[in-house]
Structure 1
Amino acid sequence: MSAADSTARADVPTGARVILASHNAKKLRELQRILAAAVPGLDPEQVISSAGISLPDVVEDQVTFDGNSLLKARSAAKATGLLAVADDSGLAVDVLGGAPGIFSARWSGRHGDDEANNDLLLAQLGDIADEHRGARFVCAAALVAPDGTEVVERGEMVGRLLHERHGEGGFGYDPLFLPDGQTRSAGELAPEEKDAISHRGKAFRAVAQHVARLLG
């Protein structure tokens, strides 16, 4: 191990086995729940996020969800020596030609400003009728192991956009999104309900099977 590797790995908690290359606490809890259910004997505390860990900055310069998720997972696996999971996800709106897509988190111009992103999307759709407000959440979840194993799994949640926010749960565009077959927005669903149908839940569950295999 090089001196650089030693420095990068010094702040990884003892016992950690999987790292989520994200500072998002809600994503971490989602992944912890899913992996704990899929991998017998895995303590959720063994699944950590990159928050508080010195990882190299990753420039997300790819033009696909798959490409950006792989960039982040590769960097985290190399820096920590752990199995690394990363996701890139976003909202694809039919009448916007699939936008905001990979720009979902910074659609308003400020990265991670959920309120501004939702306000802009509502303004852009304006008086668009319900039948033309179709949209889908898309997630590409990448798993990269220190031995070079790489897997990308995709998930989608199809629905339509509401005319105003409903619910305070979830994050991002969840309060504006009504999944097909539901009477409540993604922002009104309990975490376990959302996990069962969400784009990220589907992608993470698929990745969890590969994690189980790699952890033996």
Structure 2
Amino acid sequence: MKIVVATHNEGKLVEIREILADELGDLANKIELVSAGSLNLPDPVETGVTFQENALLKARFVAQRTGLPAIADDSGLIVDVMGNAPGILSARWAGKHGDDEANLNLLLAQIEDIPDDDRTARFRCAACLVEPITSEEDTADYRSGDDFDDGDGMEDVRETVVVGEMPGTIVRHPHGTNGFGYDPIFLPDDQPLSAVQNGELLTSAEMTPEQKNAISHRGKALRALVPAIRDLVENE
């Protein structure tokens, strides 16, 4: 079964494959993951006001254009004292999308005077699976290379949306070079046993990919999506 991941980041496919292999065992071998980027699909405009809405928007966009099941996620940082900002604006908090350093520095400046005990935050991720039921004609058109009808051929659809969170606090200075975004200033509540024993707690950017993935908001959300994926594959 082919499932499209609504992303242009091939690294995200690797992460999802690993999770499916861990959770589904041999059943994962029946799934072929492909990215929206590999199919030359553009990114949709994210007009949702929540992570759930944007994740659904992206998955629906891909499913409607391919006639295939689609997985999508949307995530960001929520800082309690900032009224849950930057939230869905996390990637463009300083004005330019994807400028990690500018976003991070602006956030630190905005909460500079906030006491350590009040710098609580959490990463949140919404993940979804959209399973379209399309007419055979429209699906055949797409697979033959013709343009897929933007939804007119969509007869029915099943949608599953789940949420994962990673709680923590915002430290005052960046630490670590792994990860991306706000990872250097985010100190997860869940820590590797070795870090706790050594008394040296790690930011997300100081953790190995394996340590971070085990506790991350995206990992939790994707694992929560596994039962719906299992049902899809088993009932193909």
Question: Does 1:125 find its partner at 2:143?
Answer: no
Deviations 1:22-63 (A, max 9, x none): 123443322221122122332499222222322254121111
Moved over 3 A (4+): none
Taking the aligned partners of 2:172 and 2:96, their CA distance within structure 1 comes to 22
Could you say which residue in structure 2 is the equivalent of 1:137? Answer: 123
Question: Does 1:149 find its partner at 2:149?
Answer: no
Return the match for 1:60 from 14, 29, 46: 46
Return the match for 1:30 from 10, 15, 30: 15
Taking the aligned partners of 2:31 and 2:105, their CA distance within structure 1 comes to 36
Question: Does 1:206 find its partner at 2:191?
Answer: no
Letter matched to residue 22 of structure 1 = T
After TM superposition, the structure 1 stretch with the greater mean CA deviation from structure 2, 178-187 or 87-96, is 178-187
After TM superposition, the structure 1 stretch with the greater mean CA deviation from structure 2, 101-110 or 42-51, is 42-51
After TM superposition, give the deviation of residue 169 of structure 1 in Å: 1.5
Taking the aligned partners of 1:121 and 1:43, their CA distance within structure 2 comes to 43
Taking the aligned partners of 1:75 and 1:95, their CA distance within structure 2 comes to 34
1:11-90 equivalences in 2 (<5 Å) = 17-41=2-26, 42-43=28-29, 46-90=32-76
After TM superposition, the structure 1 stretch with the greater mean CA deviation from structure 2, 54-63 or 81-90, is 54-63
Letter matched to residue 172 of structure 1 = G
Distance 1:119 1:43, change over 3 A: farther
Max radius of gyration: which structure? 2
After TM superposition, give the deviation of residue 100 of structure 1 in Å: 0.2
Taking the aligned partners of 1:209 and 1:142, their CA distance within structure 2 comes to 12
Gap runs ≥5 in structure 1 = 1-15
Return the match for 2:90 from 100, 104, 107: 104
Q: TM-score, normalised by structure 2?
A: 0.79
Do the aligned residues in 1 keep the contact of 2:94 with 2:106 (CA within 8 Å)?
Answer: yes
Do the aligned residues in 1 keep the contact of 2:187 with 2:203 (CA within 8 Å)?
Answer: yes
After TM superposition, the structure 1 stretch with the greater mean CA deviation from structure 2, 139-148 or 39-48, is 39-48
Letter matched to residue 17 of structure 1 = K
Taking the aligned partners of 2:45 and 2:86, their CA distance within structure 1 comes to 19
